[in-house]
Amino acid sequence: MGKVPLLLCLLLVSTFIPFRSVEFVKAASDSTPLLRGYGGILAVGSNHITSGSSASQVFSGETASNTEVAFAELKARGYNGVRVSIIDPGNQPDSGTYNSGAWHRTLQLAQHYGITVIGDDHEYDCPSTSFWQPVLQDTPQSTYPNVLWETKNEPHCSSLASDDQAIINMARNMGDTRWFVLGCNNDCTPSGGGTDLAAFPVVTDSANHVFYDFHEYFFYAAHTGEWTISAAQSFADSKFHGALDVQNTLGRPFIGTEFGADTGCGDPAMPNSCPPDQTVPGSAGYAPETVGYLSRLITDLHGAGLGYMIWNAGDWNDAPAGKTGAMDTFGSQLPLPPSSTTTTPTPLGQPLVIWELLALLVVIGISIGVIGRARLKGRARAKHASQS
């Protein structure tokens, strides 16, 4: 009689736990990464060295590259992500073509500092399998799991959906299950209420690892009639509602890979684009209104548990920005990530496993109790029989 509960308990343990363990592993691998950090870092920045930098913590005998200096500072401020321009034609003399050695150095630095990298083709045309095939082959997932792929910076492409789909299919056929970030077409700028949602590429993905993304700034040229901090904050709220609309309506997670405080000053495409209160020039520059916009948007995104990348932490900006870009200028004025969200959120499967293990322990305890009572009753009957 005492063996039946014990055998039942062992059967439950041997069959139930492995089933749930497999489900937990799947849940962990399917969890959506929550990334906050800076973009604009060039892959070739891992070869750029500025005099006066400290010794590298990764490459023995070397001075820390500008990328390593930026990664160390990002980590110190609580960020866990970075957007790296694999190529950025026209930015620097060495940034226009793929540099495998520099890319690998960048990824090794990111692994050392616990940072996840969004690899970005920083161009404005159609996504291309001819660009991505050698990059994917050169970046094995087994070596670099801490990578996401952004197929194109800001695409302007009549065949965007089919081009993105071709890249996703190619990656999945290669066994790559890492996440993709897909931008919307033609500088779309959702503001909630369904605006601009048709500009996002509709794709399928066997791994279901696709983020949607859009970029936006509070440029002076577009807001000369409302150049106030309160107007900037209202604009930020509208972009936040746009991000929620993208996620909730289109059914894919959102990450904004380029939000910044650039005023647009000096952009030839925007005449009269310099505000009267411009504080610092360039892409790492700002005015009080643009910092108000970016701070409000980051606060909104923190509250909703959404990710973002700030533009930018590159080593190529106008003075007085140094080798860490906007972290040298307006970065200290921004809200930092909550400390509890610098890592990937806990997979949904984990709490279920914990509760089910507790339930199994209760079953084991009850079974042991039943066995003990049965043994005591057996001894009592044996004792009674011997006395009689």
Mean pLDDT, residues 308-336 taken together: 98
Whether the predicted pLDDT of 314 surpasses 80? yes
Mean pLDDT calculated for residue range 189-195: 97
The first and second tokens of residue 160, run together, are 């965007």
Phi, psi for 41 (deg, rounded to 5): -80, 125
Q: How high does pLDDT run on average in the chain?
A: 86
Mean pLDDT to the nearest integer, 336-344: 65
Predicted confidence at residue 344, as pLDDT, reads 33
CATH number for region 33-345: 3.20.20.80
CA distance 78 to 337: 6
Predicted local distance difference test score (pLDDT) of residue 24: 29
Residue 198 — very low, low, confident or very high, per pLDDT cuts 50/70/90? very high
Cα dist. 262→180, 287, 289, 360, 366 in Å? 26, 8, 10, 57, 65
What is the per-residue pLDDT across 101-128, written as a single tens digit (0 to 9) for each?
Answer: 999 999 999 999 999 999 999 999 999 9
**DSSP 8-state assignment for residue 294:** H
pLDDT band at 328 (very low <50, low <70, confident <90, very high): very high
- Split at pLDDT 50, 70, 90, the class of 361 is low
pLDDT at 19: 34
> According to the model, what pLDDT value does residue 365 have?
56
- Residue 379 pLDDT class (50, 70, 90 cuts): low
- List, as one string, the DSSP characters of 87-114: E-TTTSTTSSS--HHHHHHHHHHHHHTT
> According to the model, what pLDDT value does residue 158 have?
98
Q: What is the predicted pLDDT for the residue at 130?
A: 98
* Range from 17-26, 159-168, 169-178 carrying the lowest mean pLDDT: 17-26
Q: What is the mean pLDDT of residues 7-28?
A: 35
B/e letters for 75-99, b = 16+ CB within 10 Å, e = fewer, are: bebebbbbbbbbbbeebbeebeeeb
- For the chain, what percent of residues have pLDDT higher than 90? 78
Pick 378 or 195 by higher pLDDT. 195
Cβ-based neighbours of 171, under 8 Å, separated by 6 or more: 132, 136, 149, 178, 180
Percent of the chain's residues with pLDDT above 70: 80
